[in-house]
Structure 1
Amino acid sequence: MIFTVAIDGPAAAGKGTIAKAVAAHFGFELLDTGLLYRAVAKKTLDGMDAVAAAKALSSHDLQRDGLRTAKVGQLASKVAAMPKVRAELIAFQKRFARMEGGAVLDGRDIGTVICPEAEVKFYVTASDTVRAHRRWLELVQKNPDILEEEVLAQLTERDKRDSERKVAPLKPADDALLLDTTELTIEAAVNKAIEAIKTRQAQGRE
């Protein structure tokens, strides 16, 4: 069975948590595509050329420490706009998406660019202030001095860059189901996603 679930949205909206829960529920393979770009960014910070880093990327690189830092995140957004880097990583993602047994991909352009043929597409979002607070709660544990206003500024900057880039800008697919988690619990959002997938699977069996 080939069944692809595409989950897109900006940072700290909850798409990663929803993706993990959905993959676990249905037994699908999971790929956090943002980690691909973060891994390339990390290798770039280590002194490697971005395109060479993308070509040499392995599953081991996705397990490295430090991929979730703000610095790596900012650079990941920049390398994601490089056409040659994108070409290398897009091919990887496309193969993953259509593997036998089902796949969930979490990213920013899955439903629009990587898997326009995905059986189910979600666009997960939330207000800027709510997303910034969530991300600040994560980062402050490692960096007690970081200010919530600083995190908000970084998120806003990244959203702007991701939405305005010429190559695969961040936007909902035309047929994506919107999940706004501003006032929605993760459990409720996950349940909505699971029900939508079940409905699509039932339609496919008809």
Structure 2
Amino acid sequence: MNKEEQTKKLHSVDNVDVKDNSGASDDDIKENNSTTISSSKQNSEAYEEKRKILSLFMLFSLLLMILTSVSIANRGIYQINEETLVIINQAFNALVVLLIPFLLGAVGAISRVLMSGISVAKQVSLIISSGFMATFSWIGIKSGVLLAIVAPHLEKQGVEPTVIGDTPSNFYTMALVAIFVGMFSSNLYLFINQRVEQLTMQAQQSKSEK
């Protein structure tokens, strides 16, 4: 009886070892399958990206070949007309003029950032974007589009739009507009950013209390 019990115990231990080995082998197979599937997905994505880049390169090379052949066949195609030269001259002059509101708007943004006690070096993108907003305001005033939008509201309040239309000729008025726009843009961004930070802090505190 003792020998039979010992043999039964040995058989049970062997069965447990076989089951453990089979379970481990199944886990290994699943891990290998998952790794092979993920690697195949990565390879397919990399192949698609390479194919797109190659197709774009072929398209640009084809367009360049067509442009080169047309240029060789028509050598006078690159002659600039007088109207184009006038437009280029106007664009260059506008670019030089618009540097002024850009600098003034950046100065307004810098003053607002300094008043808030934030480091100017950390808000360089905000200062640049405020300068661009001041530049866009100058374009709107110079083109008359902004005045055309605001004119109906001014007429209701008894203000003549012609009076305001004459003021943009004054440099100091336009400079003040650029500075105010730069300060307003930076102030709006800082206000929204601080509000978002406060809301996130409140949400985190409520989650920690729960």
The TM-score normalised by the length of structure 1 is 0.22
| Greater percentage in helix | 2
| Greater percentage in strand | 1
The higher relative CO (CA closer than 8 Å, separation ≥ 6) is in 1
The TM-score normalised by the length of structure 2 is 0.22
